[in-house]
Structures are given as structure tokens and as C-alpha cells.
Chain A
Amino acid sequence: MNASHPTQFFNTLKALYSSSSTGQSSAVHVRLAENFLTIHFSRPEIKAYMLSSLSHILVDNVHSSAITIYCFDSPLLTTFPWQGQNYGVQGAIEGFNTTRFQTAYQHGSGAVMMYDHDTKEGIYWVKDFNDIPYWERSFPFRTILHWWSRDTTLLLLHAAGIGQKYSSALLSGKSGSGKSSTTLSCLLRDDLQIAGDDYVLVDTETPMLYSLYNCAKVEWDNLERLDFLKPLVNTNIKEAEKAMIFMHDTCRQKVMQKSRLDYAFIPVVCNANKTTIVECTEAEVLKSIAPTTMFQLPSGQTETFKKCIALTKQLKPYRIELGTEASEIAAVISEFFIQKRQML
């Protein structure tokens, strides 16, 4: 083994975590679909910073964890065992992504993330946790959880999830497609809930939708149109490019923990008088969910594509041609679920 071996670097990071830990009890447990994640934080400040978006799925005790993450900051790591030419797409480090280990550098935060598929342990290291950008708070540890999910039937999907306790839908689309606005319009209806607005966990074998992050983001400009969101916005994060809403803090009854996944919706901005939900094709759904999920996160693109295909073939595909009024959009979505339930 030489200094550039991923095993050695992983062990170096773990040792650094141990020496950086303040010794205060810092482990938290999170429900991850039908599994549990344990996260060890080296100090309480990082824990408080990173947990807001996971607060709705915290649990007190678990018998065993499917994955353990060590999260810490330390200035003592001053060199990396790789060179400049080793940085790849999405920060994946060439030579440090093997059948056992995954490694990526996170541009923006300067964080290094590793995952060991054998031990199911992940590491999130950053020099100073103040360097962690606001957007990481909206989907903490998404890269490590993506790596973990590769060994399961789960998929960390770049899509929103909405619906009711017994039936739900994905909402997928490009930036500007109306995905976030449509998702957040569900806050206006008592009978609709939101599992996530950006990433959701999905079981691709027996389609189930699981909430992972309770943070929703919306363009500041859209707040004028969606003024019902203004009281919900976290005003402590003003530096963000988007307004952030931690739904578990402000409207926790609207957060859907899990639901059977039946439908895929592709929103289309039409500026029509009325919102209409029409059937579309499986190919449209695959185009809307697969590339964006495959290329947002490092490695595993082929597996992700296969999981997206398996998922697509089990969902009924629809296009939502959006009207302009959020309340009307939500009413049409609500009526859709009511009608589908009556047809069962």
C-alpha cells in the first residue's frame, strides 16, 4: 500500500475525525427509507448547521445502522494524495474511486467526501465548517447517500415528490419548468403533502417515495407571486441565491414521510387559464428524471440510468400544463388524486 491508496487515505480521515472530536455525545440517527443512518459530528456547531433539512426524519434510537457517516472539520489536513489532473467530473477523484471506495471533492465547500462500500462508512471532511455553503444545508450528505444507495434498490432521485399518504407522484423537470412552484403550491391544500422539493429517495423495485430533505428552495423573485410562502422563509439565510424553507420547522404537517409512488408528473409552464393534467409517454418521463439525476452526482451513471428505467416503467406518466394561479394548480392536483383513488 502506498500513500496514494484510498484505504490509507480513508483511515487517515477517520483518525483525523477521532482527534478532532470534542468528545461530547454527537451521534444522531436518521430514518433513511426503511433503513437508518447514523451520523457522528465532531462538534455540536456542525451538527446544528447540517441537520435542519433532516430534522423531520430524526429518530432517537436504532438497533443497527445501514450506513454511518463521520462529519467533521479540521485544519490539520493540508495536502491531498492526488494531483490536479486527477479531478474529474463532479469532483470525482481519479484513482480513488474503486469497487470499494468512492471519493469526491466538493467544489464550493472544499469538502472531501469518501465512502467505503465494504464497511458502509462515509466521511465528510471540510477544513472549516463555516466554508460549507448554504445549499449544502438543503441536501446534506447527498453524494455519500447516493454512493450508499448504489448497493440497494433505492435511488436518490433529482425530483420533487408530492401526494397523499396512500399515493404520490414525482415532479421532475428542468430549472424553470415550474417544478418548485408546483411542488410548493401543494402547501395550499390540506389534502396534499410534500416529500421533497429537490431530491427524494425512491425504491425502484416496489415504487415507494421517501422523504429525505425537508428543505424547499424558491427563487426570491417568485416570492412575490407565491406570497403565501413569505412567512415560511428562513430569513437567517439571506445570502442564499434562493429563499429556503425548512418545512419541518414551519409547516411540519405538510411533510410526507413516505407514500406509495404511482405517478410521474412533468410540469410545463403554459401560462394557461386553467391547469390541465394529460397523459404523456414513459420516454418523456425518462428524459426528465434520468439525465439530471445521472449527472448531478459523481459516479454510477449507468446504474442510475437502469434504476430510472425500472422506475419509469412502473409509473403512470402525466404532463401538467400549468396555469398561473398556485391555488388552482394545487386544486387540480388534489382533484387528480381524488379521482384516481375513486377509480381503484
Chain B
Amino acid sequence: MTYTIDTNKVVSEIFNDEAVIVNLASGAYYSFKGSAIAIWQLIGAGYSDQEVIEQLKDSESINQFIAFLVQENLVTTSDVTVKEPITIDLQFVRPEYKKYDDMKDLLLLDPIHEVDQTGWPHKKAE
């Protein structure tokens, strides 16, 4: 199985020891450390889950992490088989990943107003 990162919905930046990922649709953002960074890069470059496991040699934690990426809508399954050349650290370090959802409230549509037929918002009745 290969995956795609939709860069219109997900943006990321990779530093030496941590990757920061932001889901633009949900407002959630993530910190990836250890081999989570390499997995993210390999998937983004078009490697399949099996190829990632071959590269990093730890199927259980890699499968768990990829399942997390799918669950969080950070990647979607893809038919693409073209791989981009990539240079990464292939020494396996247990993937660490953390989700932050403190921005979620900012993305909720305004809870105190509703909109009438003309498009004009009105304060909801108490």
C-alpha cells in the first residue's frame, strides 16, 4: 500500500530531531520524533508500507504509526508507484508521535450565531 500527503491540507517541516506537521482542515498539529520522521519522509516520497518496513525493520511500530497517520487524515491511500529519491537516516529509533488539538476550538464555526435565509447571522436564542 502506498500513500499520498495532500499538501493542500497538510503542511510540515522537518528539523534535525523533530518534524512538525499541521492538518489545515482539523487544526490539529503533531510532533514526530525518532523514526516517525523517516517514516513520514519515506511515505511522502512514495514508498509503500512494506518498503518502509524493509528499510527500517520494525513492522509493529511502523504499522501502528501508519495507521495513526491514516486515522488522522494526514495521509490517504494511493495508487502511485513512482518514488522520489530520498536520503534519510535509516537507523531505527522507536517512532514517537504526539498530537496537539488546542487549536480545534478556533476552527469550530461560531457557536453563538445562526444564519437566516438572507445569509444574515443572528444570535441564537438563549
Q: Is the interface of A mostly helix, strand, loop or mixed?
A: helix
Tell me if A292 is interfacial: C-beta within 8 Å of chain B. Answer: yes
Q: A174-B102, A295-B27 are in contact. Are A87 and B20 (CB under 8 A)?
A: no
Which of A286, A291, A305, A306 lies in contact with B27, CB distance below 8 A? A291
- Tell whether, in the assembled complex, residue A79 and residue B121 are in contact, meaning their CB atoms are under 8 Å apart: no
- Please indicate which of the listed interface residues B27, B31, B100, B120 has the most CB atoms of chain A within 10 Å of its own CB: B120
Tell me if B119 is interfacial: C-beta within 8 Å of chain A. Answer: yes
Which of B100, B112, B114 lies in contact with A291, CB distance below 8 A? B100
Tell me if A90 is interfacial: C-beta within 8 Å of chain B. Answer: yes
B-chain residues with CB within 8 Å of residue A80 when the two chains form the complex: 118-120
Query: A283–B20 Cα gap in the complex (Å)?
Result: 7
- Tell whether, in the assembled complex, residue A283 and residue B121 are in contact, meaning their CB atoms are under 8 Å apart: no
Query: A195–B11 Cα gap in the complex (Å)?
Result: 30
A132 shortest CB reach to chain B, Å: 15
- Tell whether, in the assembled complex, residue B13 and residue A286 are in contact, meaning their CB atoms are under 8 Å apart: yes
- Tell whether, in the assembled complex, residue B27 and residue A87 are in contact, meaning their CB atoms are under 8 Å apart: no
- Tell whether, in the assembled complex, residue A287 and residue B29 are in contact, meaning their CB atoms are under 8 Å apart: yes
Tell me if B115 is interfacial: C-beta within 8 Å of chain A. Answer: yes
A179 shortest CB reach to chain B, Å: 14
Which of A87, A107, A174 lies in contact with B112, CB distance below 8 A? A107
B-chain residues with CB within 8 Å of residue A309 when the two chains form the complex: 13
- Tell whether, in the assembled complex, residue A105 and residue B121 are in contact, meaning their CB atoms are under 8 Å apart: yes
- Tell whether, in the assembled complex, residue A292 and residue B119 are in contact, meaning their CB atoms are under 8 Å apart: no
A-chain residues with CB within 8 Å of residue B22 when the two chains form the complex: 290-291, 294, 301, 305
- Tell whether, in the assembled complex, residue A107 and residue B107 are in contact, meaning their CB atoms are under 8 Å apart: no
Tell me if B113 is interfacial: C-beta within 8 Å of chain A. Answer: yes
Q: Mark B1-33, 1 if CB is under 8 A from A, else 0.
A: 000000010010101011110101001010100
A120 shortest CB reach to chain B, Å: 26
Closest to B24 in A: A301
- Tell whether, in the assembled complex, residue A82 and residue B110 are in contact, meaning their CB atoms are under 8 Å apart: no
B21 shortest CB reach to chain A, Å: 10
Closest to A93 in B: B119
- Tell whether, in the assembled complex, residue B109 and residue A287 are in contact, meaning their CB atoms are under 8 Å apart: no
A241 shortest CB reach to chain B, Å: 15
Tell me if B88 is interfacial: C-beta within 8 Å of chain A. Answer: no
Query: A286–B30 Cα gap in the complex (Å)?
Result: 11
Query: A107–B114 Cα gap in the complex (Å)?
Result: 11
Q: Mark A266-287, 1 if CB is under 8 A from B, else 0.
A: 0000000000000001110011
Given contacts A87-B110, A295-B103, 6 further A-B contacts (CB under 8 A): A84-B117, A89-B107, A281-B15, A287-B20, A290-B20, A302-B8
Closest 6 CB pairs of A and B: A84-B115, A283-B18, A107-B110, A80-B119, A295-B106, A295-B103
- A sample of 17 cross-chain residue pairs with beta-carbon separation below 8 angstroms, ordered by A number, consists of A83-B115, A83-B119, A84-B115, A84-B117, A86-B119, A87-B110, A90-B107, A283-B15, A283-B17, A286-B15, A287-B20, A290-B20, A290-B22, A291-B29, A292-B103, A295-B103, A305-B11
